[in-house]
Structure 1
């Protein structure tokens, strides 16, 4: 049952007993006829005076806020869209290694012009030409990653129409198979097959890291609002306590038991307390709007956050955290991917600098005729073998320079990867140490908060009895408030470090499971 349905249910239960009571009290028929309008009147009064009303505050825990941000925030949708984009990019890569069926052609290919025709005596004549030279080609090809070549099968049909002479001819290749193989050249298929799966896996882990970054951000906004909520509670409590103490001080002043200076000091404290309430309400509203906007909460009204419980003790070690990070993080995959890309650049520089050759061979059948069926009657054998060469003879050291540049860049990449690995490990080690320190600090702030609250209660009682000065009471005020805020700050630091550790390792140490 949602909040609105729950409110209607409560209001109905509020109105119905009152209406029944009026109907039972009045035995006249007129009262019974007025029962329905009376019910609506009482229902409206219940709405007006109801403590719960339709604007019931939304109560949320830290885990609920984090989950809402992961499910429905704009950042989560952006991360999901990026993940989907990388998925289709990977599917595009995989399609390069699948058979490709292609239909190409020129339909029509009409031409009407004057062409140059050399005569037997060496002169030039321009003869009018009107023809249509159409063609269709159906081919099936398959790339071979190991060699970088491709095997293909093809079927071709060509039609030539001479409109001046009213003549039609057909030429075609019913069937032919061939193989194209680059020689001593860079094989992009082989390198892509090693690198693209790493890029895809990297994108999947990047998505998980993005969700953990969202969790970290949501937890920060949660504690911003929780701190504003606590500050408002402190300010309102201090306002009530200051008013009570000022009342007691006025009575004592009337009896001559304290000075005018103490009254003025309390009046000043009362003004500060009222100002603090106003500032806290403003901060609460701003923090609430920021949290709602980030987690995509459309509910109206106030949000009430529940203070997280004391966290359970987690068994952590730097070695284990670093191991999980290398097994799960996108950066760990990127280390290998960057090294392979540098190796690919060197291989490409070497492959493009030397002898470049392409061998093409085709075996099939071909024929010609004045009709299409004649092409398939006793076709003639067709064989083609072609070797294309590209040999640089004099390039003034360009080939060597490109190779040396790629090798130097590879060495630089290796150094950068080694440095990034060290930073990677150091960051996790520092985070584990920080997490354990903040866990201990949280335990101390819990004790400090309890002591400060008890000290304030004692100071308040002593002041009423006349055993404590207003200055000492103000100090107790300040210590109590600061201890409460320190506790919320300690909770925030702890949970921030917890979600940061999850992001750095992509591992949940509480459930002992890999994050997905």
Structure 2
């Protein structure tokens, strides 16, 4: 088998004058290098990374919302000059008067959300300046040196609590989805790799078939002169040569197209001449179905998305349920304030400022709107749970079937290797027997077709093997060849993706 394997590699490496490639550079790629280039340089890889960074910054925003926020509010200058209606107490009449004023405001506020209750603590300080012009000229400063307070909805929907449940799961799904897409790129790169390998093999077979047909036709001409074969056999050999020439031209076009497709996917120059090294298979690697299911349930981002969908549906039920009842909220604060005509006095002996506010909203008649929204949310939750279970079963079935196919494929590769050995040997012997006149043209053609089909079957078996292997990695995010979870190979801290 080693002889046949070397023959395949040599065939894939060899490039003949029948293919015209305006090659600016030449690269030699094996499957691992092809996948590395795809995940480093392809446009698919760039898109995958940006999708991850989008989710990463969304999670950073969620974390930032859990921290205290400091805000400065400023109104540096506000000038008013207008005519307004005022009450004149001396004449007991409303009169229009001209007013002219200048106003400025500055304040600082610190807020901290409290996830457990859904409320917000706040700390404030502000200073206001106002000056009136005209007949009555006055200047006033007002200050709130410090005020601390707390506000929350007593019976309403707590958005912070649900964000605390959903956002970490959502970010975990984003990380796993990034790895999932990386393996998806690996699958696509594997597909293009073997498409080029098959195109190269088909071209080499066509080239070999062309040379063989030409040789056999010349031999046939000599044998026809001595009446060793009939004219019909000679015409058949000539027809085979014409068909082989046409086939070679078509295979050359297919080869160039496959090479261009792989180069474009890897973001290489379109005229890059690519030479491939065919991979072998992983010896004696059998993947246990139970282990694959275990990693699939814990790592597959599609299953994490199903959990996220259920939580979001439960959040919607909770929100509509609490909004259908009466709502009550409280806002309480304690602090100090003062008013003075000079800046030096505005902070002198501040007065205590207290505020307690309780508001209640009671729905009396809404003609079933709130109840309808709650029932819709509840029914949607039931649908999401059923759909999630169906999708979970489908994903598990896909894992099981792919693992079974992979485990069987290793045996098929062994059979394909043996078939290729026998086909090459049989063709060589039949060809020699035809040259010495002990085999007819039909036997030679049949033997040649079997050899070519055996070579195609071997490359197809390799392709199916590696496609299944990377599909299992995508579905489970686990490398069964090394026994390492793919997430352990990446560092997501700080938004930096490091292999």
TM-score (norm 2): 0.90
Q: Which structure 2 residues correspond to residues 339-488 of structure 1 after superposition, within 5 A?
A: 339-488=310-459
Aligned to 2:305: 334
**Alignment RMSD:** 1.6
CA distance in 2: counterparts of 1:98 and 1:133, whole angstroms:
33
Question: Which of 123, 142, 162 is the aligned partner of 1:153?
Answer: 123
Question: Which of 169, 182, 185 is the aligned partner of 1:198?
Answer: 169
CA distance in 2: counterparts of 1:259 and 1:57, whole angstroms:
48
Aligned length: 464
Contact 1:117 1:126 in 2 (8 A): yes
Moved more, 245-254 or 196-205: 245-254
CA distance in 2: counterparts of 1:54 and 1:112, whole angstroms:
78
Per-residue CA deviations over 1:342-373 (Å, capped at 9, x if unaligned) read 21111111221212122111111111111112
Contact 1:174 1:375 in 2 (8 A): no
Per-residue CA deviations over 1:305-351 (Å, capped at 9, x if unaligned) read 11222432212121111101011111222232222112111111122
Matched, 1:182 2:153: yes
Contact 1:108 1:133 in 2 (8 A): yes
Which aligned runs of 4 or more in structure 1 are off by greater than 4 angstroms? 53-56
Aligned to 1:130: 100
> Offset at 1:383?
0.9
Per-residue CA deviations over 1:373-422 (Å, capped at 9, x if unaligned) read 21111111111111122111222222222222222221222111221221
CA distance in 2: counterparts of 1:301 and 1:190, whole angstroms:
55
SS of equivalent residue, structure 1 residue 460: helix
* Structure 1 unmatched ranges of 5 or more: 1-52
Question: Which of 295, 315, 323 is the aligned partner of 2:266?
Answer: 295
Contact 2:280 2:462 in 1 (8 A): no
Contact 1:104 1:137 in 2 (8 A): yes
Specify the structure having the higher radius of gyration (Cα).
1
CA distance in 1: counterparts of 2:199 and 2:253, whole angstroms:
9
CA distance in 2: counterparts of 1:351 and 1:250, whole angstroms:
95
Change (3 A) 1:80 1:301: closer
Contact 1:150 1:179 in 2 (8 A): yes
Q: Which has the higher contact order (CA 8 A, sep 6+)?
A: 2
CA distance in 1: counterparts of 2:107 and 2:141, whole angstroms:
14
Moved more, 478-487 or 328-337: 328-337
* Structure 2 unmatched ranges of 5 or more: 1-21, 488-499
Aligned to 1:27: none
Change (3 A) 1:54 1:334: closer
CA distance in 2: counterparts of 1:205 and 1:385, whole angstroms:
48
> Offset at 1:54?
8.9
Aligned to 1:241: 212
> Offset at 1:497?
1.2
